[in-house]
Structure 1
Amino acid sequence: MSPVVLGKALRRSLQQVRYVVPVGFGAADGLTRAVYRQVEREFGMLAPPVALHSPAPEVMAAGWMILRETMIASWRASRAAKEVVASMVSVNNSCPYCVAVHGATLHGLLRDPTAQAISEGRVDDIADPELLAIATWVRTGVRPRTTALPPDQAAELVGVAVAFEYYNRVVNVFLDESPLPSHVPGRMRGTMMRFLSVLMRGPASRRHAAGASLDLLAARGPAPDAAWAAGAPHVADAFARAAATMGAAGERSVPEPVRRLVTAKLARWDGKPLGLSRGWVDEALAGLPPADRPAGRVALLTAFASHQLGQDDVDGFKRGGADDRRLVEVVAWSAFAAASSRLATISASYR
């Protein structure tokens, strides 16, 4: 199978998006078309983690912007270093889809065992000292003592880490564990993942101008906590525009008592899993008005245990009249709130 054929197959994998129906090119509005074109040009394919947002075009643009300006835009950090961060955050968050995609990209760039070592939890086997230091930092949340992290890459690498705290949650909700279509036979999956590595290598090896996605959304003033991104103004700008857009989506689609509950719980959270039981969800929901509990359940699970959100939770939410746009906006607001809550800790651990 050629990379071109694989690219077409992956485009059809949008049919595997759960709970919402992505907007096709033919029905897309101007903003959606602009995002789709950028994604295909710069990522190498219409990536399902971006396209699944399409029922809420502004939210999709915000999600794409933080991914594009941290991961794809060329600045100080190498693409390989950023793929290490994306892969390692995805391992930490138990997001097998993202581990597979970014591991394939990393393997295509380096053509060595680094990606496999990360996916198998053998970080100490990474041969490159700088990549080892970066992977160790992400895995442990502690700056390595033996090797200095590059100070001029802080904004990009912290930005990638926060972006994937967001994307891992959204992907766990809406996508299967593998980027390959479900009809692909097991005996073909290894071959197709190797072709995926080839497909991703080309766009990942090219230079991409910083700031090219910023015009998708209106300009915003700098966020009050943007000092961490001072070394990469396009990253700071992307997060400021995205934060304003996600905030507006929350006001539209997330009941105010739910926003208060999630925000308060995130302020007390240390980033560790809350356990296999979902008893904590029922306990937290008890203080909400009954009409807000279905949205609260989706929001809480997205923020704290995205891999546990399932069909029953979505059905309960949609029984109250929620459409695809509202579901995307509740999930996106919650995922962005959780990612943002981790920003200070991630940034401080790099210094």
Structure 2
Amino acid sequence: MKDPRLLVQSPLRRLSLLQVRHIATVPFGEATGDTARVYRELEQDFGVLAPPIALHAPVPALLAASWMTLRETMLVEGLVPRAAKEAVAAAVSRSNQCPFCTTMHSTMHNSLTTRPTSSGRGVKAGPAGGAGTAPDQLTAWIGSAGMPPFAPELMPELAGTAFCLQYLNRMVNVFLGAQPLPPRAPDRAVGPVLRVLTGLMRGSVRARIRPGRSLSLLPHAPLPKDLGWAAADPRIAAALARSTAAVELTAAELVPEPVRDLVAAELARWDGGDPGLGRAWLDAPLRELPPADRPAGSLALLTALASYRVDDKVIAAYRQNGGGDREILAVTSWAAQRAAQRRSGQLLRDN
């Protein structure tokens, strides 16, 4: 029996991909191999062909990595209900000035809390007392980078969700608009679109997706030391190990080594704050790069530290120096991932 959601999902496919800017997309009907598999799993397990994941399709390994991270940390319901993860996702998105993700995850959180889809079971009390996963507690934790209010065994799911959104917020700010709408769609369409999208996504929550299904998309890899907090959940640890390795391998092939070295050094000094609208913080380190690498360095640093400032001019400058769609995705995904790892470490520094 066909999934009744297909009646809505099918016409949404083209509208989802129309939202992606700066790079070409892979249409649903033209996807093959692992790309086709991820597209199908997106609709089945997330409810829609989500643009924040689908935009990675020109590089199948990055598509698999982004999907694996989202699915295994946020969508699989382990010890933590989806509503709590949506609260974390919304809080992280607000902190990163990502209106697209803030709108989507706030709406989904409100939908799940006003009309619960699961049993409503609680989670184990954390060191701050109570369940530790009330929205205000989770929002405060994201904002303060202090002691988590929940039990240690919940860390892989909740910190994993935060890590995932730190990455996706940056990619969304670069490649998507402020709202989940195609270009030139009127703002008044946001409400009806959100009702359709949340309805589809709620259907995937009710379905209780199978844990670990996405792991076969990428080969085994060691867990990075700065993601050691995930080790308590072998499934999430495996997902993050494989996905981060895929991004690193892609960057090693397509991102100049001087750019990677520079961004790594800047992130090591970064305190997690917004560098502001001036250019001094950007221009000074870029002067350390060979002139041919500066457009890639600019794109990488902006993606990592101020992704909302990546515009057509930044992308065009990189293209003029030979950067194609695959290179643009490699630079941005690597910078976003490294920034997400850095922010995760700062978030958990007192744990």
TM-score, normalized by the shorter chain, greater than 0.5: yes
- Provide the C-alpha distance between the structure 1 equivalents of 2:135 and 2:29, rounded to a whole number of angstroms: 42
- Provide the C-alpha distance between the structure 2 equivalents of 1:129 and 1:41, rounded to a whole number of angstroms: 27
Matched, 1:203 2:196: no
**Kept in 1: contact 2:222–2:241 (CA 8 A):** yes
Matched, 1:68 2:71: yes
- Provide the C-alpha distance between the structure 1 equivalents of 2:295 and 2:208, rounded to a whole number of angstroms: 44
How far residue 31 of structure 1 moved from its aligned partner, in angstroms, is 1.3
- Provide the C-alpha distance between the structure 1 equivalents of 2:242 and 2:190, rounded to a whole number of angstroms: 38
**Kept in 1: contact 2:180–2:190 (CA 8 A):** no
Question: Which position in structure 2 is the counterpart of 1:253?
Answer: 254
| 3-state DSSP of counterpart to 2:135 | helix
**Kept in 1: contact 2:92–2:162 (CA 8 A):** yes
- Provide the C-alpha distance between the structure 1 equivalents of 2:171 and 2:133, rounded to a whole number of angstroms: 32
Question: Which position in structure 2 is the counterpart of 1:142?
Answer: 146
How far residue 183 of structure 1 moved from its aligned partner, in angstroms, is 4.2
How far residue 5 of structure 1 moved from its aligned partner, in angstroms, is 4.1
Question: Which position in structure 2 is the counterpart of 1:84?
Answer: 87
| 3-state DSSP of counterpart to 2:61 | helix
How far residue 29 of structure 1 moved from its aligned partner, in angstroms, is 3.0
- Provide the C-alpha distance between the structure 2 equivalents of 1:97 and 1:78, rounded to a whole number of angstroms: 23
How far residue 347 of structure 1 moved from its aligned partner, in angstroms, is 2.5
Quick one: structure 1 residues 18 and 295, their matched pair in 2 at CA, closer, same or farther if it must change by over 3 Å? same
Listed one character per residue, the Cα deviations across residues 119-175 of structure 1 (whole Å, up to 9, x for unaligned) are xxxxxxxxx97232112111222237xxx4233211110011011110000000000
| 3-state DSSP of counterpart to 1:37 | helix
The equivalences for 1:10-89 within 5 A come to 11-89=14-92
- Provide the C-alpha distance between the structure 2 equivalents of 1:4 and 1:186, rounded to a whole number of angstroms: 24
Question: Which position in structure 1 is the counterpart of 2:125?
Answer: none
**Kept in 2: contact 1:109–1:205 (CA 8 A):** no
Quick one: structure 1 residues 197 and 168, their matched pair in 2 at CA, closer, same or farther if it must change by over 3 Å? same
How far residue 67 of structure 1 moved from its aligned partner, in angstroms, is 0.9
- Provide the C-alpha distance between the structure 1 equivalents of 2:263 and 2:210, rounded to a whole number of angstroms: 36
Matched, 1:167 2:168: yes
- Provide the C-alpha distance between the structure 1 equivalents of 2:325 and 2:189, rounded to a whole number of angstroms: 33
* Structure 2 stretches lacking a partner, 5+ long: 116-131
Please identify, of 158-167 and 201-210, the stretch whose mean Cα deviation from structure 2 is larger.
201-210
**Kept in 2: contact 1:109–1:204 (CA 8 A):** no
Which amino acid in the other structure matches residue 189 of structure 1? V
Which amino acid in the other structure matches residue 38 of structure 2? V
Which amino acid in the other structure matches residue 74 of structure 2? M
How far residue 216 of structure 1 moved from its aligned partner, in angstroms, is 0.2
Quick one: structure 1 residues 131 and 206, their matched pair in 2 at CA, closer, same or farther if it must change by over 3 Å? farther
Please identify, of 305-314 and 317-326, the stretch whose mean Cα deviation from structure 2 is larger.
317-326
Percent same amino acid at aligned positions? 43
Which amino acid in the other structure matches residue 165 of structure 1? Q
Please identify, of 36-45 and 24-33, the stretch whose mean Cα deviation from structure 2 is larger.
24-33
Quick one: structure 1 residues 25 and 278, their matched pair in 2 at CA, closer, same or farther if it must change by over 3 Å? same
Quick one: structure 1 residues 59 and 74, their matched pair in 2 at CA, closer, same or farther if it must change by over 3 Å? same
Which amino acid in the other structure matches residue 169 of structure 2? N
How far residue 259 of structure 1 moved from its aligned partner, in angstroms, is 0.5
**Kept in 2: contact 1:10–1:180 (CA 8 A):** no
**Kept in 1: contact 2:220–2:242 (CA 8 A):** yes
Which among 114, 130, 135 is matched to residue 131 of structure 1?
135
Quick one: structure 1 residues 192 and 244, their matched pair in 2 at CA, closer, same or farther if it must change by over 3 Å? closer
Listed one character per residue, the Cα deviations across residues 170-213 of structure 1 (whole Å, up to 9, x for unaligned) are 00000000012344433343233233322221112331222111
| 3-state DSSP of counterpart to 2:232 | coil
Root mean square deviation, CA, Å: 2.0
- Provide the C-alpha distance between the structure 2 equivalents of 1:165 and 1:309, rounded to a whole number of angstroms: 16
How far residue 4 of structure 1 moved from its aligned partner, in angstroms, is 4.8
- Provide the C-alpha distance between the structure 2 equivalents of 1:151 and 1:237, rounded to a whole number of angstroms: 18
Task: Compute the TM-score of the two structures, normalised by the length of structure 1.
Answer: 0.89
- Provide the C-alpha distance between the structure 2 equivalents of 1:24 and 1:73, rounded to a whole number of angstroms: 26
Quick one: structure 1 residues 5 and 25, their matched pair in 2 at CA, closer, same or farther if it must change by over 3 Å? closer
Please identify, of 256-265 and 202-211, the stretch whose mean Cα deviation from structure 2 is larger.
202-211
Question: Which position in structure 2 is the counterpart of 1:345?
Answer: 346
Which among 101, 107, 114 is matched to residue 111 of structure 1?
114
Task: Compute the TM-score of the two structures, normalised by the length of structure 2.
Answer: 0.89
**Kept in 1: contact 2:145–2:349 (CA 8 A):** no
- Provide the C-alpha distance between the structure 2 equivalents of 1:342 and 1:186, rounded to a whole number of angstroms: 32
Please identify, of 100-109 and 58-67, the stretch whose mean Cα deviation from structure 2 is larger.
100-109
**Kept in 2: contact 1:11–1:46 (CA 8 A):** no
